[in-house]
């Protein structure tokens, strides 16, 4: 087995290539562009027998992806941040069509203010759309997840599109060793796309833009989509087993690290989990029973697995790399929902918001989060939600504000 | 774990340097992570890239805040705060500078406890953004300092990373890179791999509770004009346009109009004046001036002259 160094973007492109993708509607956006660059070079060189069309926007791109999937071909596309938001109308629409394809999202914080760096508010905005969501923490996982995502999305019990998410910069531009699955084995694992009755062509008309009035029919279609997304949980377990048998790498719905006897638990998604992995090791050396539960499948949300995993633990630190204005961390509230009312639920479920706009989380901060939840346990009260933010960072913003508000301050002075 | 940062200017090949070194470590059975940090993404502007290498999986991510080795391809960046060369450097860090000056001079100038090693600069070039093969030399020097990468492995790594450029370019790069490898070999093994922070004894983060502030203060708005003046884009310049006022016809408008950055002002006497704090050195003015009254000179020479008190 040979491994090679690939960026997260490169790993995503390899996933699309190994999945024998037929059609790629594309639109570039930082930090995703390298994915479509790689694919276009392969297509140009004849290494990949696919068709790529660059569209005029993400709105058209996602429409084209859904439209092409309806005609029975295997579709891949990729976007990020504002691009995902620009296409959001069609994200919901094509998910409602119940057409399977895979879209990679390279996570990047949303405007305003504008940033290029990563956080998860973009992907969280697609949370309720009907797309499945797989969140990656390494470059290896990206290639592997794209392959698994096709199996999951195309499964006849599921048949909805899937998003594979990777963090901008921390994965997108970072090279790590990746063992590329063998081309034939990958093709055999993903298999031929069986589009069932999705065979739109001239002689086989298909309308996916129908209107339903009165609410009854609408409720039926929406709830069926919900049930299909939920069904992806049990289907995923089978696919993960087969993937592990074929390629020797196992990816569970929740990636657990040192959870067996853990009293204190980090809960999170994404690439910062590898940092938490290191922190768990250091904290264990210091005598703390700490574990890490990284959620890989975020939609469907594995409520029952979470309950089984977390009951009886002393305290949980949920790290959200996103913020729902007026509520706080999205993961935190979803975990609270999952754990509400169950016997032996952890006494402390603390919310930490960190890593917004690519802001790093240091090892010391991981240590301190565990220290805080332990103290909270001893006192028996959950701590207030905390933004990971230091005095130095506030000083930095004060310096910038002094420049940004200079003229305004002068005008005010004159008025007074 | 080895934690190595490369600093240079856009065009000098720092991303390539990090990839060559990353591949070399990888071929030497290390687990590796390498990444560039994109910033201004412009020729001449400061850029950095980094490499982590360890015998076990690399779980750290993001910018290296406490490097074991910092390699600088262009010594004009060392003293430039915006380039961040000195960030996180302490007594355990090795600082390798491509320079004509010696280590003592730099030690004195920087007043740092870091160990300074000089990569002897090759013959000077006019435009430092075009320093030939400097990325390969920096990668080679870092490889030699690590003491775990053989010359043979380095050669294979460079060849793999530059494959798309063809054999002739690979040959040229190898020639200078291997010379750098040898020149630095006497310091082999000087890098001290740093350990992970310990959870038993750590500095607590200075977390604060962010106070509520009205939109008047907390909205992301800039109320003062011309704040871009604060960004000294002149630091990106590797070639400097200089006006010869004896030849300048005083047309006043051609150079100042063509300047894409508005960095040429017109004085009261109708003569143009270049704002070197913001001129990026694109040299459009040199090409446009009808009487050819604007010349370009290497920025590093201009800087040296300024330092020694000679005005140009």
A358 with A243, same domain? no
- Would you state the pLDDT for residue B310? 56
Q: Domain holding A311: CATH number?
A: 3.40.50.920
- Dihedral of the CA atoms A58, A60, A66, A68 (nearest 10)? -120
Per CB-CB distance under 8 Å, the chain A contacts of B3 are: none
- Say yes or no: A92 contacts chain B, CB-CB below 8 A: no
A54 with A197, same domain? yes
Inside any domain, residue A230? yes
How far apart are alpha carbons A347 and A282 in whole angstroms?
Answer: 24
What mean pLDDT comes out for the span B289-311?
Answer: 86
- Say yes or no: A282 contacts chain B, CB-CB below 8 A: yes
Does A5 sit within 8 Å of B58, measured CB to CB? no
A238 with A259, same domain? no
Per CB-CB distance under 8 Å, the chain A contacts of B203 are: 364
Final residue before a domain boundary, out of A247, A276, A300: A247
Per-residue pLDDT of chain A (416 residues; tens, 9 = 90+): 689 999 999 999 999 999 999 999 999 999 999 999 999 999 999 999 999 999 999 999 999 999 999 999 999 999 999 999 999 999 999 999 999 999 999 999 999 999 999 999 999 999 999 999 999 999 999 999 999 999 999 999 999 999 999 999 999 999 999 999 999 999 999 999 999 999 898 888 888 878 999 999 999 999 999 999 999 999 999 999 999 999 999 999 999 999 999 999 999 999 999 999 999 999 999 999 999 999 999 999 999 999 999 999 999 999 999 999 999 999 999 999 999 999 999 999 999 999 999 999 999 999 999 999 999 999 988 899 999 999 999 999 999 999 898 876 776 777 77
As given in the structure block, the two tokens for residue A117 are: 């760096």
Strand duo A102-107 + A76-79: pairing: parallel
Give SS3 for A272.
coil
Inside any domain, residue A69? yes
In Å, how far is B174's CA from the nearest CA of chain A? Answer: 21
Inside any domain, residue A10? yes
pTM: 0.95
Q: Kindly provide the residue ranges of all beta strands, DSSP E only, lying in A141-198, ordered along the sequence.
A: 162-167, 175-179
Final residue before a domain boundary, out of A199, A220, A247: A247
How far apart are alpha carbons A285 and A4 in whole angstroms?
Answer: 32
Sign of the torsion angle spanned by Cα atoms B241, B243, B248, B251: positive
Cβ atoms within 10 A of the Cβ of B273, count? 14
Inside any domain, residue A379? yes
Phi, psi (rounded to 5 degrees) for A386: -125, 130
Inside any domain, residue A412? no
Nearest CA-CA partner of B235 in B90, B80, B55 = B80
Q: How many domains does chain A have?
A: 2
As given in the structure block, the two tokens for residue B50 are: 């980094």
Report yes or no: A290 and A283 within 8 Å, Cβ to Cβ: yes
A217 with A165, same domain? yes
My answer on whether omega of the bond before A264 falls inside 30° of 0, hence cis, is no
Question: Which value does ipTM take for this structure?
Answer: 0.94
Report yes or no: B129 and B12 within 8 Å, Cβ to Cβ: yes
- Domain range enclosing A372: 254-392
How far apart are alpha carbons A319 and A356 in whole angstroms?
Answer: 11
Per CB-CB distance under 8 Å, the chain A contacts of B209 are: 386
DSSP character string of A142-156 = HHHHHHHHHHHHHST
Per CB-CB distance under 8 Å, the chain A contacts of B204 are: 364, 368
Strand-pairing partners, residue B47, are B8
Does B205 sit within 8 Å of A175, measured CB to CB? no
Average pLDDT for chain B: 94
Q: Domain holding A54: CATH number?
A: 3.40.50.970
A168 with A292, same domain? no
Cβ contacts of B123-128, under 8 Å, gap ≥ 24: B124/B100, B124/B298, B124/B300, B125/B298, B126/B239, B126/B298, B127/B238, B127/B239, B127/B298, B128/B9, B128/B12, B128/B44, B128/B74, B128/B76, B128/B238, B128/B298, B128/B299, B128/B300
The b/e string for A393-411 (b: 16+ C-beta within 10 A; e otherwise) is beeeeeeebeebbeeeeee
Size of interface A-B (CB pairs under 8 A): 120
Does B199 sit within 8 Å of A175, measured CB to CB? no
As given in the structure block, the two tokens for residue B49 are: 């890239």
User: Chain B neighbours among A 149-188 (CB < 8 Å)?
Assistant: 169-170, 173-177
Nearest CA-CA partner of A241 in A257, A252, A229 = A252
Show the CA angle centred on residue A316, arms to residues A311 and A322, nearest 5°. 125
Measure CB to CB from residue A283 to each of B26, B34, B199 and give the nearest one: B199
In Å, how far is A362's CA from the nearest CA of chain B? Answer: 9
How far apart are alpha carbons A365 and B202 in whole angstroms?
Answer: 10
- Dihedral of the CA atoms A348, A349, A353, A354 (nearest 10)? 70
Does A408 sit within 8 Å of B223, measured CB to CB? yes
Does A406 sit within 8 Å of B198, measured CB to CB? no
User: Chain B neighbours among A 62-91 (CB < 8 Å)?
Assistant: none
Mutate which of B61, B213, B220, B223 to disrupt the A interface (most A C-beta within 10 Å)? Answer: B61
How far apart are alpha carbons B249 and B262 in whole angstroms?
Answer: 20
- Dihedral of the CA atoms A396, A400, A405, A410 (nearest 10)? 90
A192 with A156, same domain? yes
What mean pLDDT comes out for the span B265-276?
Answer: 95
Q: Which domains are present in chain B? A: 2-187 (3.40.920.10), 233-307 (3.30.70.20)
- Would you state the pLDDT for residue B128? 86
- Would you state the pLDDT for residue A1? 64
- Say yes or no: B230 contacts chain A, CB-CB below 8 A: yes
Strand duo A132-135 + A76-79: pairing: unpaired
Inside any domain, residue A398? no
Nearest CA in chain B to A355: B62
As given in the structure block, the two tokens for residue B179 are: 């010379």
Least confident of A185-189, A262-266, B182-186, B303-307: B303-307
A31 with A167, same domain? yes
Inside any domain, residue A51? yes
Nearest CA-CA partner of A108 in A172, A162, A63, A163 = A172
Q: What is the pLDDT of residues B77-103, one digit of tens each?
A: 998 888 999 999 999 999 999 999 999
- Would you state the pLDDT for residue A237? 97
In Å, how far is B208's CA from the nearest CA of chain A? Answer: 6
Final residue before a domain boundary, out of A247, A268, A287: A247
A273 with A239, same domain? no
A113 with A176, same domain? yes
Inside any domain, residue A53? yes
Strand-pairing partners, residue B53, are B2, B32
In this prediction, residue B312 has a pLDDT band, given cuts at 50, 70 and 90, of very low
Per CB-CB distance under 8 Å, the chain B contacts of A270 are: none
In eight-state DSSP terms, residue B192 is: P
Q: Strands across the sheet with B46-54, in order?
A: A3-7, A175-179, B31-37, B46-54, B2-9, B69-72, B94-99, B115-120
How far apart are alpha carbons B69 and B50 in whole angstroms?
Answer: 10
H runs (alpha helix) in A286-390: 303-310, 330-339, 363-379
Show the CA angle centred on residue A171, arms to residues A169 and A176, nearest 5°. 125
A267 with A207, same domain? no
- Say yes or no: A9 contacts chain B, CB-CB below 8 A: no
A258 with A243, same domain? no
Q: What is the pLDDT of residues B38-49, one digit of tens each?
A: 778 889 999 999
Nearest CA-CA partner of A356 in A319, A382, A384 = A319
Length in residues, chain A: 416
Nearest CA-CA partner of A335 in A318, A321, A322 = A318
Mutate which of A3, A166, A178, A404 to disrupt the B interface (most B C-beta within 10 Å)? Answer: A404
Q: Is A80 left (phi over 0), alpha (psi -120 to 50) or beta?
A: beta
A189 with A318, same domain? no
In Å, how far is A13's CA from the nearest CA of chain B? Answer: 18
């Amino acid at each position: 087995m040979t491994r090679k160094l690939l960026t997260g973007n490169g790993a995503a492109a390899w996933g699309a290539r190994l999945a024998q993708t037929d059609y790629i509607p594309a639109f570039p956006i930082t930090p995703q562009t390298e994915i479509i660059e790689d694919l276009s070079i392969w297509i140009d060189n004849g290494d990949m027998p696919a068709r790529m069309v660059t569209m005029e926007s993400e709105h058209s791109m996602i429409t084209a992806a859904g439209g092409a999937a309806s005609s029975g071909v295997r579709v891949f596309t990729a976007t990020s941040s504002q691009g995902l938001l620009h296409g959001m109308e069609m994200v919901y629409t094509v998910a409602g069509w119940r057409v399977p394809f895979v879209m990679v999202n390279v996570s990047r914080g949303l405007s305003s203010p504008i940033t290029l760096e990563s956080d998860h508010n973009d992907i969280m905005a697609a949370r309720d759309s009907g797309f499945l969501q797989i969140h990656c923490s390494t470059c290896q996982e990206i290639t592997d997840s794209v392959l698994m995502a096709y199996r999951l999305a195309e499964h006849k019990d599921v048949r909805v599109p899937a998003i594979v998410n990777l963090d901008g910069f921390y994965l997108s531009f970072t090279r790590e060793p990746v063992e590329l699955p063998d081309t034939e084995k990958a093709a055999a694992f993903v298999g031929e796309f069986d589009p069932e009755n999705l065979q739109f062509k001239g002689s086989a008309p298909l309308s996916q833009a129908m209107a339903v009035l009165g609410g009854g029919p609408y409720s039926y279609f929406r709830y069926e989509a919900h049930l299909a997304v939920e069904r992806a949980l049990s289907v995923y377990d089978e696919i993960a087993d087969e993937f592990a048998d074929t390629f020797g790498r196992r990816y569970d719905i929740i990636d657990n690290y040192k959870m067996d006897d853990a009293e204190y638990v980090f809960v999170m998604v994404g690439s910062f989990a590898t940092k938490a992995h290191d922190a768990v090791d250091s904290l264990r050396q210091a005598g703390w029973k700490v574990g890490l539960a990284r959620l890989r499948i975020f939609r469907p949300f594995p409520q029952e697995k979470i309950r089984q995993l977390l009951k009886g633990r002393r305290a949980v630190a949920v790290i959200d790399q996103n913020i729902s204005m007026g509520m706080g961390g999205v993961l935190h509230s979803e975990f609270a929902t999952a754990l509400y009312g169950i016997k032996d639920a952890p006494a402390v479920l603390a919310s930490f918001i960190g890593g917004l706009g690519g802001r790093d989380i240091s090892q010391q901060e991981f240590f301190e989060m565990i220290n805080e939840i332990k103290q909270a346990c001893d006192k028996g009260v959950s701590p207030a939600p905390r933004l990971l933010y230091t005095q130095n960072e506030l000083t930095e913003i004060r310096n910038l504000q002094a420049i940004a508000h200079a003229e305004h301050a002068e005008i005010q002075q004159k008025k007074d | 774990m080895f934690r190595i940062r490369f600093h240079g200017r856009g065009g000098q090949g720092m991303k390539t340097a990090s990839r060559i070194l990353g591949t070399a470590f990888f071929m030497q059975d290390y687990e590796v992570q390498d990444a560039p940090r994109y910033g201004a993404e412009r020729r001449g502007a400061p850029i950095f890239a980094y490499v982590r290498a360890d015998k076990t999986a690399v779980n750290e991510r993001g910018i290296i805040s406490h490097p074991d080795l910092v390699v600088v391809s262009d010594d004009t960046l060392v003293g430039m705060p915006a380039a961040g060369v000195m960030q996180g450097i302490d007594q355990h860090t090795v600082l390798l500078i491509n320079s004509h000056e010696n280590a003592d001079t730099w030690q004195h100038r920087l007043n740092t406890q870091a160990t300074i090693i000089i990569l002897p600069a090759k013959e000077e070039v006019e435009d430092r953004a075009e320093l030939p093969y400097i990325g390969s030399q920096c990668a080679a020097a870092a490889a030699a300092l690590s003491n775990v990468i053989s010359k043979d492995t380095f050669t294979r790594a460079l060849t793999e990373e530059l494959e798309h450029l063809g054999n002739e370019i690979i040959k040229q790069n190898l020639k200078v890179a291997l010379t750098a490898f040898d020149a630095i070999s006497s310091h082999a093994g000087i890098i001290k791999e740093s350990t992970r922070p310990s959870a038993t004894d750590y500095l607590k983060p200075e977390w604060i509770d962010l106070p509520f502030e009205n939109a008047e203060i907390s909205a992301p708005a800039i109320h003062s004009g011309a704040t871009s003046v604060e960004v000294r884009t002149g630091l990106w310049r590797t070639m400097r346009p200089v006006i010869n006022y004896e030849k300048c016809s005083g047309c006043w408008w051609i150079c100042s109009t063509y300047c894409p950055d508005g960095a040429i002002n017109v004085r009261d006497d109708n003569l143009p004046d270049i704002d070197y704090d913001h001129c990026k050195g694109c040299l459009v003015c040199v090409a446009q001036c009808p009487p050819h009254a604007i010349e370009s000179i290497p920025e590093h020479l201009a800087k040296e002259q300024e330092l020694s008190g000679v005005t140009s």
